[in-house]
Chains A and B, each alone.
Chain A
């Protein structure tokens, strides 16, 4: 189930981004955060606790919404526009955390 609910502006072209290898439909003009949370409910796993995270401030201040490109570039999902062909991963490529090893 989706976390976010679209309340309008739905008459936009559909684009497809890939998240963890799976295609996700979004709308042109969506941020990555809206793209991911309009079709799913989580963005990433917390490194410090058991819980999944889905962002917090939506204005680039809290850094809770980090996702990565397949090549390892870090993106703030709330302030990065979704674009067709993007290959997004929701865990940091190459990283492992002691509590989730």
Chain B
């Protein structure tokens, strides 16, 4: 029998565990990863000549990070690993990939998409000023380059990452001026029953808040962001917000790390023609999958945060589970008992993730409250007022139609950072449910390609 060709996209926790399962089954998968090194974002590896130990880089998750990296190192030679390879399309039964110097189209028998996540952003007036960064970006700077994004940093948004990254900054010696959480403290109490599904992670979260307070960092809950102050030439100079008690406040800073938890990178699942369903808890469209990770398209499997935000621990389980499902579907022997146990693990993490979504809700109402002169799309400078005008003039109420007329979602980031907020704004203006606005279709190439790419290697 010819060895089936399995392609894994992504070398983070899900992709690494999927590759390991394939190798254990005697298969040599192709692993395509955009990163220079394996690890993905949350377990991102620092350059070779950096010396910080695991405990310093990954805190409570140091053991998991190290185990994952060592697993991947052990797979070298047993997998066809292609770092710095962008997968820019899936079409005609092939994975289309490109690096700075070559391109390739690879057919496959099974495709595992472990594409990971990016920050979910709610635009704030002034977020185009230099010094505004995504929360995940602030963490990448520290983890992989040992830098702080500014001299005086404010963390603003919501979600577990907000507290984690703020703490990591404090511990690394950065000056954290404040943590501004849009979620009211009461939401966390309501979410407790679900959060108790994984007590150790819940405790990690509590410990982070305590650490910040001990370090003297001002932590505000239930705030409403009003404006990132700054100017075109010098960038961010401060932040203006309303406290939970309704008092307007201003804090001087030269950097803002902003984000509201994460969103899955689903463009490749979309191009592979996977069916999507609206998830009312996170208000996001997610690719459908069965309990093992099978998408609606035969031979295409989805795992990790690229399918649904369930966290890194869950990604390791769902990556392995998706690979086992693929191997089983290819007629190879797999341990059904292990699959059942992994399904149980993913279910537990799913309950915890539901708790997080309740504890740190996406402040959808802030999109419709954006003033007309606030940039909604920071790539091309399209304001909230521009999108409202397009809706009035054209009647557009569907995400892709509104994009065509307004260019919101058409710029460099291709809607990654404005798309969800734009949908909320449209829904509120048109007074329709956000699911009726639909979702921005994935378009190839999913990221800009260089024109000068040559043929093949």
Interfacial residues, chain A to chain B (CB-CB below 8 A): 3-12, 28-31, 34, 37-38, 41-43, 46, 48-64, 66, 73-74, 78-79, 81
Residues on the A chain within 8 Å of B145, using CB:
9, 30-31, 34
A interface: dominant SS: loop
**CB contact under 8 A between A57 and B134, given known A7-B173, A9-B52, A34-B141:** yes
B interface: dominant SS: loop
Which of B146, B413, B452 is in CB contact (< 8 Å) with A6?
B146
Residues on the A chain within 8 Å of B148, using CB:
4-5, 7
B412/A62 in contact, CB under 8 A: yes
- List 15 A-B residue pairs with CB atoms under 8 Å apart, sorted by A's residue number: A3-B131, A5-B150, A9-B51, A34-B147, A49-B232, A49-B375, A51-B231, A54-B235, A55-B137, A57-B413, A61-B118, A61-B447, A63-B447, A73-B452, A81-B47
CA distance A6 to B52 in the complex (A): 14
Residues on the B chain within 8 Å of A37, using CB:
147
Which of A4, A29, A48, A62 is in CB contact (< 8 Å) with B416?
A62
Residues on the A chain within 8 Å of B138, using CB:
58
Interface size on B, residues (CB 8 A): 56
B147/A4 in contact, CB under 8 A: yes
CA distance A74 to B118 in the complex (A): 23
- A-B interface, 3 closest residue pairs, ranked by CB to CB distance from nearest: A58-B137, A48-B381, A63-B412
A38/B235 in contact, CB under 8 A: no
CA distance A45 to B50 in the complex (A): 32
CA distance A61 to B119 in the complex (A): 10
Residue of A nearest to B49 (CB): A29
CB of B140 within 8 Å of the partner chain? yes
Residue of A nearest to B234 (CB): A41
A51/B134 in contact, CB under 8 A: no
CA distance A43 to B133 in the complex (A): 13
CA distance A56 to B412 in the complex (A): 12
**CB contact under 8 A between A55 and B133, given known A49-B232, A63-B412:** yes
